[in-house]
Each structure stands twice: as C-alpha cells, then as structure tokens.
C-alpha cells in the first residue's frame, strides 16, 4: 500500500517526545507537513530537529503552547490555520492508589487528557467538514477498557475519549471526515520506563525490568513486550490516508493483543 500524505497539514499535540514525536515523525516520513507541539519552546524545537534527522527535508513547524488550557489552544489557533489531520496525543499518566486521588487530581487528568482534545476538535473539525476531507485521531489506550488499578484516573480519561470519538464521528457523518480512536497498548517511552521502575525493582537491568513488568502488570499482552512508538505512528499514518476512508467512529487497536476481547 502506497500512502502519500504530501500536501496535507497535520497537528500532533504533545509531540515533543515519546509517542507524539514518533507519530509526527511517521507522518512527516509519509509526506505530511507537521505542526510539532509541546509546552517548552526549546524542547519543541529540539524535537523538530530530531525529526528532521530521521526525515531530511521534512516540513515542520514547532509551536510551544500548553493545550491543556483554553488559552494555550487559542494561542495555537492563532498560529495554525486549516488542518487536514488532527492527532490528539497530549496526555498525562501516573500511578496512584484510587482512594488517594483527590478532586483536583481528577479534574487535572480530565482537563489534560480529554478537554484538550475536545477543544482542538471544536476548532478544526468544522473546517474539515466544509472542505470535505479530514482525519481526526484521539490517542486512547488499552486502559480505556481494561481499567488499571494503579491509575484509575488515567483509565477514566481514556474511556471518555472513546465516547468523544464516537460522538464527533456522528457529527461529521457524510462529510468525508473520519474520527477515530487509536487504542495504544503498553508502549516503550522514557516516561513508561520511569513508570516501570516505579512498579518494579530499580536495580534490575531494563530488559529484565520490562519482562517482569509485562508478566506482573500486563500479563495478557500477546506480543509479551512493550510496543515501540513507531508502531503507533504507523497506524496513525494509515488512518490519516485516503485508503482509510471507510474507517470512522472506531476504536482501532495497536495494543499488542493486550485487550482480551474480540471487540473493544
């Protein structure tokens, strides 16, 4: 399958590191022009430089804006015009006993992981619908349907994203615009490495720590390893393409077979 995204403009929120940077890289590799986003200008520009090393000649615009706030979203909108592809990747996670999560923490997770996506969809979906083409993807998680005991607040936000996705897909019905969730499984990023070491003995070498984490905390993974970020990026590239025109309103899994269900 030859996927060509030349001429398409994409925004990947929270793309200055990790999964977001990998998604931005793969979109650029397929020819899209990409807005790289993070909260820090230095970090965002550094991510753009790293992407250009992987994809020489990539057209990238690094924009620092805190999209967890309405003010940050408006700041980005002033600098970014029409979009063809919107990837809502921004998110936070962390382990905490559910009975110790206070109101402020519940609100913070919802604000960052859900409302940041809703704001950007409201901004850019109408234009996509008017032009008859658009791709919106919300990066969800296996935690949307397999609620992790160590971070229920995170799982709650990813479940909410599935509903947000379905609702906006219905709003865009018949317009040529697709809206999907990408359900990422346990993925190998620096943040996840830190998370793994919070749950597994710090002194273990990484390969052993990863194996123990998968065995004890993600035992249903069928690939029995962490997913590499580029594997998430590859799915996003496909869903961004003309070839994915009949896939909308869905929760598309890149979870390594972790979710023990035929359907999400």
Q: How far apart are CA 226 and CA 18, in angstroms?
A: 13
Provide CATH 3.40.50.720 ranges for the chain: 9-185+230-244
The helix (H) or strand (E) run that includes residue 166 is: helix 152-171
Residue 57: alpha-carbon gap to chain centroid: 24
Q: Are 134 and 125 in contact (CB under 8 A)?
A: yes
Q: How far apart are CA 264 and CA 259, in angstroms?
A: 7
The bridge status of strand 85-88 relative to strand 134-141 is: parallel
| Superfamily, domain 9-185+230-244 | NAD(P)-binding Rossmann-like Domain (3.40.50.720)
Predicted pLDDT at 203 = 82
Q: Are 171 and 125 in contact (CB under 8 A)?
A: yes
Burial bucket for residue 241 (CB in 10 Å: 0-12, 13-18, 19+): buried
Look up the pTM and report it: 0.94
Q: How far apart are CA 123 and CA 113, in angstroms?
A: 17
Predicted pLDDT at 30 = 98
Q: How confident is the prediction along the chain (264 residues), in pLDDT tens digits per residue? A: 899 999 999 999 999 999 999 999 999 999 999 999 999 999 999 999 999 999 999 999 999 999 999 999 999 999 999 999 999 999 999 989 999 999 999 999 999 999 999 999 999 999 999 999 999 999 999 999 999 999 999 999 999 999 999 999 999 999 999 999 999 998 998 888 888 988 887 789 999 999 999 999 889 899 999 999 999 999 999 999 999 999 999 999 999 999 998 887
Q: Are 83 and 8 in contact (CB under 8 A)?
A: no
Q: Which residues of 181-205 are buried (b: 16+ CB within 10 A; e: fewer)?
A: bbbbbbbbbeebeebbeeebeeeee
170: helix, strand or coil: helix
Q: Are 228 and 186 in contact (CB under 8 A)?
A: no
Kindly list the catalytic residues: 154
């Amino acid at each position: 399958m030859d996927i060509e995204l030349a001429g398409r403009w994409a925004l990947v929120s929270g793309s200055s590191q990790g999964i977001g940077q990998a998604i931005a890289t793969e979109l650029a590799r397929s020819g899209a022009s990409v807005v790289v986003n993070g909260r820090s200008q230095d970090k965002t520009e550094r991510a753009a430089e790293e992407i250009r090393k992987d994809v020489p000649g990539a057209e990238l615009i690094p924009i620092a804006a805190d999209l967890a706030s309405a003010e940050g979203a408006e700041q980005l909108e002033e600098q970014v015009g029409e979009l063809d592809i919107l990837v809502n990747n921004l998110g936070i996670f962390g382990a905490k006993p559910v009975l110790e999560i206070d109101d402020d923490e519940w609100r913070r997770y919802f604000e960052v992981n859900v409302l940041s996506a809703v704001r950007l969809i409201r901004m850019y979906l109408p234009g996509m619908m008017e032009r008859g083409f658009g791709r919106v993807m919300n990066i969800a998680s296996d935690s949307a349907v397999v609620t992790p005991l160590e971070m229920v607040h995170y799982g709650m936000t990813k479940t909410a994203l599935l509903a947000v996705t379905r609702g906006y897909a219905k709003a865009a019905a018949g317009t040529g615009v697709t809206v999907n969730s990408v359900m990422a499984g346990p993925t190998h990023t620096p943040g996840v490495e830190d998370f793994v070491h919070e749950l597994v003995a710090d002194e273990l070498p990484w390969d052993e720590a990863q194996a123990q984490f998968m065995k004890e905390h993600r035992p249903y993974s069928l690939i029995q390893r962490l997913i590499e970020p580029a594997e998430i990026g590859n799915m996003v590239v496909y869903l961004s393409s003309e070839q994915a025109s009949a896939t909308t309103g869905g929760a598309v899994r890149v979870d390594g077979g972790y979710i023990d269900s035929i359907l999400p």
